A and B are shown apart, each in its own frame.
Chain A
Amino acid sequence: MTTIPATPGPATVAPVTKEPTPPPGPRRRLADRFAGGTGSRWFPYVLVFPLALVLFGYVVQPMFATFAESVGVDGVENYGSFLTGGGVARSSLVTSLIISAASVLLCGIVGVAMAFLLKRFSFPGRKLIEAIILVPAALPPLIGAISFQLLYSETGILPRGLQQLFGAENPVLPFSGIAGVLVVHTFTMYPYFYLSASAALGGMDPSVEEAAYNLGAGRVRVWRTVLLPMLTPALVSASLLVFMTSLASYTAPLLFGVDQTMTMQIYINRTNGDLPMASTYASVLGVVSVLFLLGMRWYEGRRSYRSQSKGVAAHRREITNPLGRWLALAASLLATAVLLAPVATIALVAFSRDGSWTTEVIPAQYTMQNFVTIFAEPRAFQPILNSLKMSLIATVACVVVGVLIAYAVRRLDFRGRGLLDVAVMLAWALPGTVVAINLISAFSTGNAFSFGQVLIGTFWIMPLAYFVRFLPLVFRSSSAALAQLDPSLEEAARNLGASWWRAFGTVTLRLMLPGVLAGALLAFVHGVGEFVASVLIYTSETAPISVEINNRMYSFEVGTAAAYGMLQVVLIFVVMVVSGRLEGGRRSTREAARWTA
């Protein structure tokens, strides 16, 4: 499943029409509050220290362990192979970068075009497309990649269908290799562009555009001189995101057999037992990811063009030309089919008999047996239990740590606040494969943070990996929820006599709850769909659903694999509906916040 970035949160806070309170922000107020009441002025540190320890122990320190591993035996040679031409290392790096750049370009074209069509024009079928536009991106990464493979690869439904249709000798328009990877990337990552471009378009004050027309600019000129410059910040941050995500992509190259990418090399070297070389790849990829993270933070810190005026929304232009309307309708139908095809394929194949699908366009024989097997056979059901259990443990930990870090970062004043923030985002920026290698390097021997235990090969390494990967999701949503909360609510509670803990519990935490829950649900589904890190650290007893799917695919039990995938998809849609409800709840509190502000 693709991680969709929270839209810049604080912008939703209504500007308070107050003559500026004295220079210190809400953070300082709270810091001051602690200076006497609930504890001492050291209270923030007492709260933050264990959090910092967790982040250091499970995010930062493992990174250093990986680096140490990579330079341990013949470090110079390991890193040297990236610089000197010809070798696998260098070509993997180059391939990864090229794939990422191409993905940015393709996602940018698709995403921005979609945003403009859907936000600026009114045509039949628009609402339907808006409703399902994020479906492909919502699939777990492995299921997403598998569905595209089933659809568009040489043995896929579409090329074979076209072959039959035209009576051609070979499958028509098959995607393979890098082209296949790019198709997967485009379909799963264009939402980054779509979401940020449509948010920017929605937040744009239409009167700015109208002013340009009023001053005599033509349509092209308005585009060139007003619209595009105003969209630039959104496009730049979406580009950085897509680049990072493509760089971290592992399942697409795996399924389309592109071995020479950074992530694949990590996996191949790890499975060949060359941990120092895997660590070298992981370190290089980690450093590149961190650089991108820092670049994004720097860029986000600059001003964005969000207009302050409220009320008037941009008008959608009705397509009135009859030919245009027909074209639009046809295009909408096509888009709907394309967007729903991956899920439909998984659903179809889930009911196919294993081994029955060879050269036909679609499977020939259908059965319920796949699902019966999964639920009836204890060995087949075990991965589901594993995934649920590991994901639940990780989610609980994410909530406890994530909420407290969000509170500390947003509301407390202490030295090193920025570092804490960066450490959480680091966990988000690191590719899953790198997280796995980091944990392997750190916990293949006993270590203070594992209480002296070797974690590799045990059950606990799995929830730990999920915790590290999905902590940022809970942190982000909690932090966004906190940003919408006026600090004076907590102050009012304190003024009425509530202790800090009581004010936090009955007011702040209570009001954050929808956001926290939404984040927790997201972390949970991501955990259930996790594949990238799991595949490097699972054991036969702890194999999660996705690893089982992958193994079944290898043994050509495509039907059973798809059936597992179908279960993941169902879980995801249930969760999406639930968090949609929560989102609605959050909107009402936001509404209230606007009223009180």
Chain B
Amino acid sequence: MIDVTLESVSKRFARGGDTAAVADVDITIAAGEFFTLLGPSGCGKTTTLRMVAGFYFPTSGRIRFGTEDVTRRPPNKRDTGMVFQNYALFPHLSVAQNVAYGLKIRKVGRAESRRRVEEALGQVHLAGYGDRRIDELSGGQQQRVALARALVIRPKTLLLDEPLSNLDAKLREETRTEIRRIQQEAGTTGIYVTHDQAEAMAMSDRIAVMQAGRVQQIGAPQEIYHRPATSFVARFIGRSNVLTLPVQGATERTVTVGLPGGGEIDVPAPADHGLRQGETAQVSVRPEHIGLTSTTEAGALPGRIAELEFTGMATNLVVDTAGERMQVAAVDVPAGIAVGDQVGLRLNRDRMWVVRP
């Protein structure tokens, strides 16, 4: 168990090229923490993980394990356990031999090695599978062998590169709870890469949301969901309406914005919002924080229903208002409501949040 620090780490691939795959990433991961790098395709999250593993070296910046600088240390000297997206199990070795590979390199005695392999296989519920060939296992079983192989060497950090992306939906949910349990039992620091925000929310202590090589926000799942730092984070995590509204006044923790239908509303804002009257603010409001009401209600935003979709738990609507198309998720809707109806939208101001563009 060890803490991992990335200090303004950047990575450019092309020689002298100017597009950075990863730019100025500063992250401190506490010992024992389960930390997730989350973002869309090509955001630099895998590159960041591979720099931690030592498969890439940063173009600039430093990486530390505890107090040790490991920036340019080769991968085989880093003592990390990595689970690859496609598992990368050795097809010419049996399950037990795969798991024992790292122990053999560490010159662990035979009896001890056997004991630890069995223990690791037990931990991932594969006791008794040691003699199987890799191609005799299902995808989920292979995934667990890969996890056992990474854990058996008792790595300082466990690195997981989208390990669930090749599993079907049900298995994915089961396995993510498993991974979390095993990581906590082993007490190792976990760094997890995924593009699936639900997975990230469910598993992580903290999440770094990345886009275009940069970290957009680091925080606990609730924080990221309720107080997204940027409009990108607001839209990428869950669904959100990001409204561009004129600022009519501002205090340290609130910004007063004008609504398109007339009237104004005080929206909570981060301390460093820096907005002044006359500027425009980006305000995030999630679909489930908008209520349906009559068009006549005071302060309600009038609109016309453009799309309507009943999903069971909630009804998803798209409502055209004067300024914007709004997504609304209403738990109960008046009977007989239909596309084309005029409705009023009641925004829950406590749940709104000012974001950076």
Instruction: Decide: A491 near B76, CB < 8 A? Known: A18-B165, A36-B57, A589-B92.
Output: no
The reply to whether B90 and A33 contact each other, CB–CB distance below 8 Å, is: no
The reply to whether A486 and B86 contact each other, CB–CB distance below 8 Å, is: yes
Over the window 93-111 of chain B, the binary record of Cβ atoms lying under 8 Å from chain A Cβ atoms (1 yes, 0 no) is: 0000000011001100000
Instruction: Decide: A37 near B76, CB < 8 A? Known: A29-B56, A596-B89.
Output: yes
Instruction: Decide: A596 near B88, CB < 8 A? Known: A493-B101, A495-B80.
Output: yes
Q: Does B215 contact A (CB under 8 A)?
A: no
Q: Which residues of A contact B142 (CB under 8 A)?
A: 595-596
Task: Please give the distance in Å from B298's CB to the nearest CB on chain A.
Answer: 47
In the complex formed, the residue of B with least CB distance to A19 is B41
The reply to whether A19 and B57 contact each other, CB–CB distance below 8 Å, is: no
The reply to whether B13 and A23 contact each other, CB–CB distance below 8 Å, is: yes
The reply to whether B105 and A496 contact each other, CB–CB distance below 8 Å, is: yes
Task: Please give the distance in Å from B107's CB to the nearest CB on chain A.
Answer: 10
Q: Which residues of A contact B54 (CB under 8 A)?
A: 33, 36-37, 494
Cα–Cα distance between A259 and B189 once the two chains are bound (Å): 77
Q: Does B347 contact A (CB under 8 A)?
A: no
Task: Please give the distance in Å from A591's CB to the nearest CB on chain B.
Answer: 6
Cα–Cα distance between A18 and B56 once the two chains are bound (Å): 19
Scan residues 142-156 of chain A and give those whose CB is less than 8 A from a CB of chain B: none
Q: Does A20 contact B (CB under 8 A)?
A: yes
In the complex formed, the residue of A with least CB distance to B84 is A488
Cα–Cα distance between A510 and B91 once the two chains are bound (Å): 10
Q: Which residues of A contact B228 (CB under 8 A)?
A: none
Instruction: Decide: A494 near B134, CB < 8 A? Known: A29-B56, A488-B84.
Output: no
The reply to whether A33 and B46 contact each other, CB–CB distance below 8 Å, is: no
Scan residues 153-195 of chain B and give those whose CB is less than 8 A from a CB of chain A: 153, 159, 162, 165-166, 195
Q: Which residues of A contact B149 (CB under 8 A)?
A: 492, 496
In the complex formed, the residue of A with least CB distance to B133 is A592
The reply to whether B53 and A495 contact each other, CB–CB distance below 8 Å, is: yes
Q: Does A28 contact B (CB under 8 A)?
A: yes
In the complex formed, the residue of B with least CB distance to A511 is B92
The reply to whether A496 and B135 contact each other, CB–CB distance below 8 Å, is: no
Q: Which residues of B contact A595 (CB under 8 A)?
A: 134-135, 137, 139, 142
Q: Which residues of A contact B195 (CB under 8 A)?
A: 19
- Pick the contact of A32 from B42, B55, B90, B162 — CB < 8 Å? B55
Pick the most buried of A22, A488, A595: most chain B CB atoms within 10 A of its CB: A22
Q: Which residues of A contact B42 (CB under 8 A)?
A: 19-20, 22
Q: Does B221 contact A (CB under 8 A)?
A: no
Q: Which residues of A contact B282 (CB under 8 A)?
A: none
In the complex formed, the residue of B with least CB distance to A492 is B88
The reply to whether A592 and B56 contact each other, CB–CB distance below 8 Å, is: no
Tier of interface size on chain B: 35 or more
Query: SS class of chain B's interface: helix, strand, loop or mixed?
Result: loop
In the complex formed, the residue of B with least CB distance to A496 is B102
Q: Which residues of B contact A29 (CB under 8 A)?
A: 50, 55-56
Q: Does B85 contact A (CB under 8 A)?
A: yes
Q: Which residues of B contact A170 (CB under 8 A)?
A: none
Query: SS class of chain A's interface: helix, strand, loop or mixed?
Result: helix
Cα–Cα distance between A32 and B47 once the two chains are bound (Å): 12
The reply to whether B86 and A596 contact each other, CB–CB distance below 8 Å, is: yes
Q: Does B247 contact A (CB under 8 A)?
A: no
The reply to whether A18 and B89 contact each other, CB–CB distance below 8 Å, is: no
Instruction: Decide: A494 near B57, CB < 8 A? Known: A486-B88, A589-B92, A596-B134.
Output: no
Q: Does A272 contact B (CB under 8 A)?
A: no
Cα–Cα distance between A494 and B75 once the two chains are bound (Å): 6
Cα–Cα distance between A24 and B13 once the two chains are bound (Å): 7
In the complex formed, the residue of B with least CB distance to A28 is B13
- Pick the contact of B86 from A18, A22, A23 — CB < 8 Å? A18
Q: Does B81 contact A (CB under 8 A)?
A: yes
Over the window 49-68 of chain B, the binary record of Cβ atoms lying under 8 Å from chain A Cβ atoms (1 yes, 0 no) is: 01001111100000000000
Cα–Cα distance between A496 and B98 once the two chains are bound (Å): 10
A and B contact pairs by CB, cutoff 8 A, 10 listed: A18-B85, A22-B44, A22-B47, A29-B56, A36-B74, A491-B82, A491-B88, A496-B102, A497-B79, A592-B135
Residues of B participating in the A interface, judged by any CB pair closer than 8 Å: 13, 21, 40-42, 44, 46-47, 50, 53-57, 72-82, 84-92, 101-102, 105-106, 133-135, 137, 139, 142, 149-150, 153, 159, 162, 165-166, 195
In the complex, given contacts A21-B47, A503-B76, A595-B135, what are 6 additional A-B residue pairs having Cβ atoms less than 8 angstroms apart? A16-B86, A19-B41, A32-B56, A33-B74, A494-B74, A496-B150
